[in-house]
């Protein structure tokens, strides 16, 4: 993909408000297509695109879900940059959605999980998730100013949560007490739960590791 067409694609995605993560996936999908044929993607036929996607699905080197994320980027590129009325799947079968319900921990299981977490920062983060009903992606992006501890409010503000929407959730007195203990020890600045690198917040992977460690620890 030429730098000119790439720049046009990136500008379009920025204008419509796609996240950096989505932009990266779309670019990778189209670049892979161009690299496979050593040809600029806007010159390829629909049959060539289908053959490329078939190659991704059958060579076993790319996960099926990754293939579908590439497909979405490729379709978006042709429809909005090349102005081509292409099939939304290029012959790929519909994605099979998992209907498995997530497991819900009992009150006792949550209490045991938290008691197994010795690290204060990790314990307060997990308590915030369970007490306020937050997603991992939401809790790691909390900032100190998002904790509205005025007795007349007692709320946690979530910015750009699921669906890129802002919302509020309840801040319990017990969680507020825990957050105050945490604050005295860590004095967080930009992010409530900062990461290792200056100016960064904790990653989802770090939270997953803390949760896994607590679950594996014997009662």
Section 133-150 average pLDDT: 93
Mean pLDDT score of the chain: 88
Per DSSP, the three-state class of 143 is coil
Query: Is 90 exceeded by the pLDDT of residue 212?
Result: no
pLDDT for position 29: 93
Segment 6-52, tens digit of pLDDT: 999 999 999 988 888 889 999 999 999 999 999 999 999 999 999 99
pLDDT for position 169: 93
Segment 112-139, tens digit of pLDDT: 888 889 899 999 999 999 999 898 989 9
Section 1-5 average pLDDT: 85
Question: Are 9 and 27 in contact, with CB atoms under 8 Å apart?
Answer: yes
Q: What is the pTM of this model?
A: 0.53
Instruction: Looking at the structure, give the CATH architecture of the domain made up of residues 3-80.
Output: Orthogonal Bundle (1.10)
Instruction: Looking at the structure, give the CATH architecture of the domain made up of residues 107-216.
Output: Orthogonal Bundle (1.10)
Segment 60-78, tens digit of pLDDT: 678 888 888 899 999 999 9
pLDDT for position 101: 53
Backbone φ and ψ of 211, nearest 5°:
-70, -45
Rounded-to-integer distance, Cα 182 and Cα 194, Å: 12
Question: Which pLDDT band holds residue 163 (cuts at 50, 70, 90)?
Answer: low
Query: Domain locations in the chain?
Result: 3-80, 107-216
Least confident of 38-42, 81-85, 103-107, 150-154: 103-107
Neighbours of 122 (CB within 10 A): 20
Rounded-to-integer distance, Cα 128 and Cα 26, Å: 33
Neighbours of 192 (CB within 10 A): 26
Token readout for 139 is 């809790």
- Greater pLDDT, 110 or 172: 172
Task: Kindly report the three-state secondary structure assignment for every residue of 32-82.
Answer: HHHHHHCCCHHHCCHHHHHHHHHHHHHCCCCCHHHHHHHHHHHHHHHHHCC
Question: Are 139 and 193 in contact, with CB atoms under 8 Å apart?
Answer: yes
Instruction: Return all residues near 78 (Cβ < 8 A) that are at least 6 apart.
Output: 49, 84, 86
Question: Are 125 and 210 in contact, with CB atoms under 8 Å apart?
Answer: yes
pLDDT for position 17: 86
pLDDT for position 164: 63
Tokens 């161009």 belong to: 34
- Largest Cα–Cα distance in the chain? 64
């Amino acid at each position: 993909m030429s730098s000119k067409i790439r720049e046009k694609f990136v500008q379009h995605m920025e204008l419509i408000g796609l996240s950096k993560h989505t932009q990266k996936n779309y670019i990778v999908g189209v670049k892979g297509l161009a690299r496979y044929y050593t040809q600029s993607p806007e010159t390829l036929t629909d049959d060539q695109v289908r053959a490329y996607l078939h190659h991704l699905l059958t060579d076993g080197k790319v996960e099926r879900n990754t293939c579908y994320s590439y497909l979405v980027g490729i379709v978006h590129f042709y429809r909005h940059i090349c102005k081509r009325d292409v099939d939304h799947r290029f012959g790929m079968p519909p994605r099979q959605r998992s209907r498995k319900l997530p497991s819900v921990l009992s009150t006792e299981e949550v209490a045991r999980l938290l008691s197994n977490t010795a690290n204060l920062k990790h314990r307060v983060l997990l308590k915030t998730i369970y007490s306020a009903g937050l997603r991992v992606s939401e809790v790691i992006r909390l900032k100190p100013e998002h904790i509205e501890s005025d007795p007349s409010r007692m709320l946690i503000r979530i910015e750009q949560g699921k669906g890129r929407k802002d919302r509020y959730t309840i801040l319990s007195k017990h969680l507020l007490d825990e957050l105050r203990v945490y604050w005295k020890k860590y004095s967080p600045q930009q992010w409530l739960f900062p990461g290792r690198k200056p100016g960064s917040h904790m990653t989802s992977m770090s939270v997953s590791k803390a949760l896994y460690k607590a679950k594996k620890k014997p009662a």
